């Protein structure tokens, strides 16, 4: 590894450390609304199957995509057109899946956005129009109906010999494309108890949330049931003012706690180390065995006026580097994030080497943290 790469790694590590240290010095408090959800106040996923029409020859090939052909026939039947005896050859339609998110407390008649994605072999949904499509929830009930012009945030062009595609032209969006027909029944004012669900379960955080709520109310109305749930009995003075109570609770500042964890994304070489990660005393050696094989072509020509022929070939050169500058580093007990990064930088490791070293340290039992590989 050359000096320039080592310098860049050191600068990046220093910036990462400063960001984490600065966050720690400011107490890292968060609002309850940013770390937890109120039970019952939630979104619902909707899905539907429909047809996009009006495509410029970029739709499904209904000769090979049978479900697109059957969908077209069924749609024409519903409007009184019998097409079962005809030879359908249209390439201007596409069978699609339509997805949407129904917000909490969404009311009948309001609109939501929908996503449209091709199911068959359609090439492009640009310029297409989604025909009225019912959107159903997990219980099988219809909650919205989607229809409208599909907006595709991509481009696809084809010439005589080449084509270019930017983005995904087989997926699009319809802004305000669905009208809500049914509401999810939920009576907030009738609640006698509220459960608060932590997005990152933790015993300490749950206890801090309950303590903050009790301090606000001046009574022991909240208690942590488990690492993910805080139960709150509605005080008498808030029986008819639950929205006011929830507004005050979600604005409370709490310092979330977290486990010491190292997150590794092997595909991209990204390593994220929590500020509470510590290791016991150990020695780390980092060395590399590099084998470089180079093929050098050559040409051998005969002497002038001779009867020889020109000969071409390849010479193979093998270079083996056993890492003569391999370093051994000793890290003391209770090393924190800064000392850990400094020690690994002293070895001149790359992010890829860092992943292997952390996994080896964890296997030795010296890393006091969980490793999560994405």
In a domain, 186, yes or no: no
**Given the structure tokens 């749609």, which residue do they identify?**
75
Q: How many domains does the chain have?
A: 3
Question: Do the domain assignments include residue 289?
Answer: yes
Q: Is 306 helix (H, G, I), strand (E, B) or coil?
A: coil
The answer to whether residue 352 sits within a structural domain is yes
Domain boundary among 153, 180, 207: 180
Tell me: do 53 and 163 sit in the same domain. Answer: yes
Whether residue 124 is found in the same domain as residue 21: no
C-alpha of 5 from chain center: 29
Q: Same domain, yes or no, for 163 and 216?
A: no
* 168's tokens: 């995904």
In this structure, are 170 and 50 located in the same domain?
yes
Task: Select from 254, 274, 294 the last residue of a domain.
Answer: 254
Shared-domain flag, residues 360 and 249: no
**Structure tokens of 83?**
């097409």
Residue 192 lies in a domain: no
Is 37 in the same domain as 49? Answer: no
The reply to whether 144 and 272 lie within a common domain is no
- Kindly list the distances between the CA atom of residue 322 and the CA atoms of 4, 101, 272, 301, 330, in Å, as whole numbers in the listed order: 21, 57, 30, 38, 22
Verify that 147 and 240 share a domain, yes or no: no
The gap from C-alpha 350 to its chain's centroid, in whole angstroms, comes to 25
Residue 41 phi/psi, 5-degree rounding, is: -95, 90
Domain membership flag for residue 75:
yes
Residue pLDDT tens, the chain, 374 long: 455 555 545 445 544 444 444 444 445 788 999 999 998 888 999 999 999 999 988 888 888 888 888 888 888 888 887 777 667 777 889 999 999 999 988 999 999 999 999 998 888 898 899 999 999 999 999 999 999 999 998 766 666 566 677 778 899 999 999 999 999 888 888 888 999 999 989 999 999 999 999 999 999 999 999 999 999 999 988 888 888 999 999 999 999 988 878 888 777 777 777 777 777 766 666 555 444 445 567 777 777 766 667 777 756 554 545 455 555 455 555 555 556 666 666 666 676 777 777 777 778 777 777 888 77
Nearest to 337 by CA among 36, 105, 15, 106: 15
Same domain, yes or no: 212 and 108: no
**362 close to 368: Cβ distance less than 8 angstroms:** no
Same domain, 109 and 34: no
Question: Quick check: pTM over 0.75?
Answer: no
The Cα–Cα gap between 195 and 228 comes to 10
Would you tell me how many other CB atoms lie within 10 Å of the CB of residue 8? 10
Q: Let me know if residue 187 belongs to a domain.
A: no
Show which of 254, 273, 290 is a domain's final residue: 254
Tokens 């500058």, located at residue: 325
Ramachandran bin of 246, using left for φ above 0, alpha for ψ from -120 to 50, beta for the remaining angles:
alpha
Same domain (yes/no): 265, 321 = yes
Domain that holds residue 15: 3-25+261-373
CA 67 and chain centroid, separation: 31
As beta bridge partners, residue 370 has: 261
In a domain, 185, yes or no: no
Q: Are residues 59 and 167 in the same domain?
A: yes
Asked, for residue 188, whether it belongs to a domain, the answer is: no
Tokens 């929908």 identify what position? 114
């Amino acid at each position: 590894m050359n000096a320039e790469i080592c310098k860049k790694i050191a600068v990046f590590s220093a910036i990462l450390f400063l960001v984490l240290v600065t966050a720690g010095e400011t107490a890292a408090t968060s609002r309850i609304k940013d770390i937890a959800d109120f039970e019952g106040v939630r979104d619902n996923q909707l899905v539907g199957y429909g047809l996009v029409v009006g495509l410029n020859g970029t739709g499904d090939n209904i000769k090979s995509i049978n479900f697109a052909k059957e969908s077209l026939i069924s749609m024409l039947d519903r409007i009184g057109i019998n097409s079962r005896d005809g030879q359908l050859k249209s390439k201007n339609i596409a069978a699609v899946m339509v997805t949407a998110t129904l917000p909490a407390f969404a009311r009948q008649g309001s609109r939501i956005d929908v996503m449209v994605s091709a199911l068959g072999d359609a090439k492009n949904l640009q310029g297409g129009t989604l025909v009225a499509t019912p959107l159903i929830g997990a219980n099988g009930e219809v909650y919205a109906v989607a229809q409208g012009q599909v907006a595709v945030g991509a481009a696809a062009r084809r010439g005589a010999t080449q084509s270019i595609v930017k983005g995904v032209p087989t997926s699009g969006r319809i802004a305000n494309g669905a009208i809500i027909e049914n509401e999810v029944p939920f009576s907030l004012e009738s609640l006698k108890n509220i459960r608060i669900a932590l997005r990152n379960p933790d015993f300490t955080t749950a206890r801090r949330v309950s303590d903050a709520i009790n301090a606000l109310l001046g009574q022991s109305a909240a208690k942590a049931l488990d690492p993910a749930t805080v139960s709150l009995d509605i005080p008498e003075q808030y029986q008819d003012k639950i929205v006011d109570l929830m507004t005050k609770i979600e604005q409370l500042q709490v310092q979330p706690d977290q486990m010491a964890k190292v997150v590794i994304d092997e595909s991209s070489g990204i390593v994220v180390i929590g500020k509470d990660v510590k290791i016991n005393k150990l020695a780390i050696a980092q060395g590399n065995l590099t084998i470089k094989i180079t093929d050098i072509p050559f040409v051998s020509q005969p002497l002038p006026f001779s009867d020889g022929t020109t000969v071409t070939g390849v010479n193979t050169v093998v270079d083996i580097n056993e890492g003569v500058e391999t370093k051994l580093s000793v890290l003391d007990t209770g090393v924190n994030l800064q000392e850990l990064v400094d020690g690994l930088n002293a070895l001149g490791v790359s992010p890829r080497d860092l992943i292997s070293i952390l996994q080896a340290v964890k296997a030795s039992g010296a890393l006091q943290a969980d490793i999560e590989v994405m």
